[in-house]
Structure 1
Amino acid sequence: MTAAMIELDDGAHLRTWTTGSVVPQRYPVVMVHGGPGVPDYLAPVAGIIDDLCLVHRYDQRGTGGSSWEGEHTIVRHVHDLSLSLDAWGHDRVVLVGHSFGTNMASYFLLAHPERVAGLIQIAGPFLDPWREADRAAQRARRTGEQQARLEELDAIESRTDTEEIEYLTVSWLTDHADRTRARDWALASACTLRPINYAMNAQLNAAKKADPLESHVDELREHLPPGAVIIGGAGDSRPAGALRRLGTRLNCEVIIVPNAGHNPWLEAPDQFGATLRAAVERQTRRAGNRPRPRPPLERRGSRSETTPSP
């Protein structure tokens, strides 16, 4: 693995990691993590595919080891990713987004379709209406005591480090379908993904609401690269049905992994790994080496239509 800092045009720096190796007949992969406001956590996902191609990851501006200064806009973060591709020396890449990273990858596709050779979206993007179903699932997955404690911690203006870890753990334990391990996974994330950039979170969520992807679905469908796929977890608190609806609107394959939550590599590593590798092998092939895309009706009849939903 190679770690490096990329200097951007405004003097900010992004912390990056590169694994795998250059394969002449394949496009590189760039992973876009979620949040917003947490550092990169996709190393385990990169490890599933970096024997196939070159894989880049980075801490988004405002997180982890990257620069924290300045305001956060969709335009700025899209520009950061474009400058990163330049720094890595890539004209075109396959984007792999997770959670809020699927939104960022979608906005990048809208701004720079010529630079996106492939698109793999994991656990997103979720377009309205979906929030009420998510809130209901979260409430069902927390005990009354946990919900009360979450509200108590949320009301604290300046939490101690111990309180912050507890707050994040109770917040994130609903992401996982395996209720016996959910708290342990959430606690591990809470201990490693701090500090949270709450200002960045608020600014980017506001920017997403001001320019919602819902208003760009037709344009997204027009620019969607061949073979693009959305991968979700049947046990995510966020409704798999919302991903299926988006897939229908985009004419994009949707694969829902049974027994998996918001981070499907944790709960269904074999099935998720096989699904991701197949998508990467298909989409990273350069022009002339790709198989012909399946007709739209066949994609709509894929196994994603029969897999269980939450």
Structure 2
Amino acid sequence: MTLPRTHGLTPVGDGARLHWTALGHARGRPPVVLLHGGPGLPDYLGDLAPMVADLTRVHRYDQRGTGRSPWRGRHTLARHADDLAALLDAWDAPSAVLVGHSYGADLAARFCLRHPGRAAAVQFVCGPFTGDWRAGYRAERARRMSPRERERLVALEGMHRTGEQEVELLTLAWSTDHADPERGRSRAARAARLRRPVNWAMNAELGEQARRDPLDARLDELGRCLPARAAILAGARDPRPVSALEALARRLSLPLVQVGDAGHEPWLERPEAVRAHLRGFVRDAVTA
């Protein structure tokens, strides 16, 4: 069955325009919105949309200043949450099932805090990471790299890079995200060429805001704002410590499913396991 595909460029009120695509029929149900990570990357969740698009319409979009969403200006976490609300209004969707990956999981959480009641359900994927998780992540990433790779990554991070050097940096940085190191390198190299240009200014601005206003300090509030259907999906071999997601799941009383032999993008390494879980979650959410 061929599903309809549409796209658009929606203004959101301050000069930014957000490029989006949609796959599938609305069917009178809340749509799914896929929230990509970064921050500062264009959308890369095209593999997830067909997994559930026969159940309800699935939207994806490039966050402002990335991909085909033109924007020059300062970024705020509140503005990014408001962008999603503006898109839901444009799509005539009072609520939606949010599926957020990595930074997209943080965005989904902050959307629930800022726009309570508009998330019909939330599926966090490999995030949001709270607590003291960064030291463990840096140590595991270093362990998965050779001394020469670590040295080269540090050198690239400190220089004004050419396009090819940017690809090299991203390949090194992302190669450890996968459970299989050999395939991980090839996947990272491919992603490094497709997920560009990276908006590093956006990455720095939102990272600094997240440090000033951490989700850790708002978890009780988040627990009150989350919809009844919310869950966490993790790659069991993500270099970011899964123990941080386990602690979050306990704190918020959320189910946590770990996908074995998969890293930070589990749908690339275990697509059928991710598909089965995601379909069950979305089916329950949109047919409730």
Structure 2: how far apart are the matches of 1:178 and 1:283?
33
Counterpart position of 2:143? 140
| Secondary structure of 2:181 counterpart | coil
Counterpart position of 1:89? 92
Post-superposition shift, 1:31?
1.1
Q: Are residue 241 (structure 1) and residue 243 (structure 2) matched?
A: yes
Q: Deviations over 1:113-157 (max 9, x none)?
A: 11111000100000011111111110111011111111111111x
Q: Deviations over 1:76-131 (max 9, x none)?
A: 11111111111111111111100001111100000111111100010000001111
Matches within 5 A, 1:198-277: 198-277=200-279
Structure 2: how far apart are the matches of 1:195 and 1:52?
33
Check conservation: 2:120, 2:229, Cα contact below 8 A: no
Structure 2: how far apart are the matches of 1:241 and 1:280?
25
Counterpart position of 1:14? 18
Amino acid at match of 1:126: F
| Secondary structure of 1:44 counterpart | coil
Post-superposition shift, 1:9?
0.7
Structure 2: how far apart are the matches of 1:14 and 1:35?
16
Structure 2: how far apart are the matches of 1:114 and 1:234?
31
Amino acid at match of 2:37: G
Counterpart position of 2:55? 52
Check conservation: 1:98, 1:124, Cα contact below 8 A: yes
Q: Deviations over 1:3-52 (max 9, x none)?
A: 2100111121001000011122x311111111000000001011211111
Check conservation: 1:233, 1:258, Cα contact below 8 A: yes
Post-superposition shift, 1:227?
2.3
Structure 2: how far apart are the matches of 1:171 and 1:266?
17
Structure 1: how far apart are the matches of 2:13 and 2:156?
39
Matches within 5 A, 1:38-187: 38-156=41-159, 158-187=160-189
Structure 2 residue runs of 5 or longer lacking an equivalent are none
Structure 2: how far apart are the matches of 1:144 and 1:161?
24
Check conservation: 2:117, 2:227, Cα contact below 8 A: no
Check conservation: 1:177, 1:235, Cα contact below 8 A: yes
Counterpart position of 1:303? none
Check conservation: 2:15, 2:71, Cα contact below 8 A: no
Structure 2: how far apart are the matches of 1:284 and 1:201?
33
Moved more, 202-211 or 220-229: 220-229
- What RMSD in Å do the two structures reach over aligned CA positions? 0.9
Amino acid at match of 1:50: A
Amino acid at match of 1:125: P
Amino acid at match of 1:120: Q
279, 283, 286: which one pairs with 1:284?
286
TM-score by length of 2: 0.97
Structure 1: how far apart are the matches of 2:227 and 2:82?
20
Check conservation: 1:236, 1:262, Cα contact below 8 A: yes
Amino acid at match of 1:13: R
The runs of at least 4 consecutive aligned structure 1 residues that moved more than 6 Å come to none
TM-score by length of 1: 0.90
Q: Deviations over 1:175-205 (max 9, x none)?
A: 1111120100100110001111000000001
| Secondary structure of 1:175 counterpart | coil
Counterpart position of 2:37? 34
Amino acid at match of 1:281: R
Structure 1: how far apart are the matches of 2:163 and 2:131?
34
Structure 2: how far apart are the matches of 1:28 and 1:162?
38
Structure 1: how far apart are the matches of 2:103 and 2:110?
11
Structure 1: how far apart are the matches of 2:161 and 2:224?
46
Check conservation: 1:228, 1:283, Cα contact below 8 A: no
Report the identity percentage: 45
